Amino acid sequence: MFRVKRYYSKITNVYNDINLLSKKPQTSTNLNGLIEFGNINKKKNIVYASQYMYNELPIRFAHKIKDLDSLPYDLYNNLYINTIRNWYITSFDDMLNLKYPTDFNDSLEMVCTIENIYNRHSPTLITMANGIQSIKNEKIDINENDIQTFLNKFYMSRIGIRVLLSHYSMIFKKTNTYEYGIINTKCSPYNIIKDVTTDINSMCENSNIEPVEININHNTITFPYISSHLYYILFEVLKNSVKATHDFNKTKLPPIKIELLNDNNWIIIKVSDLGGGISPTSYDKIWNYFYTTAENPINIIDNDFSINTPLSGFGYGLPITKLYLKYFGGHINICSNHNYGTDTYILLRVNGDFNEPLL
């Protein structure tokens, strides 16, 4: 493992460091690697994890900064986007000023910096959404395909950084035998579906909306995964099914059916609703950021989604869901019959040996 040289501690300007490290390749990881690094009982592994973070994060931050610098139409000058860029520069600086970890105590000292960086970047999704929306409001003539490509790359990279930051922090907060950082080695899709169902029903009741019956076959399969990622994925899919069921069926609400299947390589979660399906004109748009079927789309400029998560209207749900699945080699396929219903297939790899995609 190479060691990042501390040019910034000398006379060299921070931007020279960014240019230098942005030319270095990022090093991918996978679920199995994260589990190995996340064993708090093996302090030697924790030190290796700390050294990986020490070397890898400045490189990833440098890549992000250069990506933002290369945005077309001078979009990097946008107030919101420039704010995000400054966060990455600050985090880059924080990492370069850390002591190289050589023992477990050094690893413990690194945790505070990692948590500060994690918290600093927590508003990134909503801040970027505000930036793109403000650009649209200014009616700047931009190619939406360019923006779509940029956002896919930006958010996939962000997922990778967030996984590393949160995993490292949670290594030192182990709560049960099956948890290694943020990885639950006994992640149960069935239990998470039940939790999501309970939460969506509560949201419906709080919004004075009749809950939709959700039926699921019992399946005891468990596998190593990030439970919070799977929760988010299932929440977005079921939320869409509940809304479609309400919109299409004005009287009696038909149930949503969930089938949980698996073999030695894949877990398949099939969500079937009778919510009228997706119109042919809308089908190609469902993966686009800011596309929403809500009659009164939410003004993202005025809403903090870390505080209030509406049932619909943000428009980021499916695109981000697709990236979360892709991050560990999964897929989402949507088969829709217009004026009838939709089948959504969520495919998850059972084995954790798929390397994260580095764009």
CATH number at residue 29: 1.20.140.20
Residue type, 304: D
Residue pLDDT, tens place only, 157-191:
999 999 999 999 999 887 778 888 999 999 999 99
One domain for residues 293 and 331:
yes
- Model confidence at 292, pLDDT cuts 50, 70, 90, reads low
Residue type, 63: H
Is the pLDDT score of 290 beyond 80?
no
**For position 315, what pLDDT does the model report?**
60
First to last CA, the chain: 22
Cα dihedral 195, 196, 198, 199 sign: positive
One domain for residues 23 and 167:
yes
Percent of the chain's residues with pLDDT above 90: 63
One domain for residues 193 and 169:
no
- Model confidence at 129, pLDDT cuts 50, 70, 90, reads confident
Written as one string, the DSSP assignment of 101-117 is: P-SHHHHHHHHHHHHHH
Is the pLDDT score of 142 beyond 80?
no
> Higher pLDDT residue, 271 or 46?
271
Q: Which of 122, 142, 177 is the last residue of a domain?
A: 177
Residue 75's closest CA among 118, 132, 18, 5? 132
Full domain range(s) for residue 304:
188-349
9 falls within a domain? no
Residue pLDDT, tens place only, 8-63:
444 357 888 999 999 999 999 999 999 988 777 788 889 999 999 999 999 999 99
| Structural domain total, the chain | 2
Is the pLDDT score of 75 beyond 90?
no
304 falls within a domain? yes
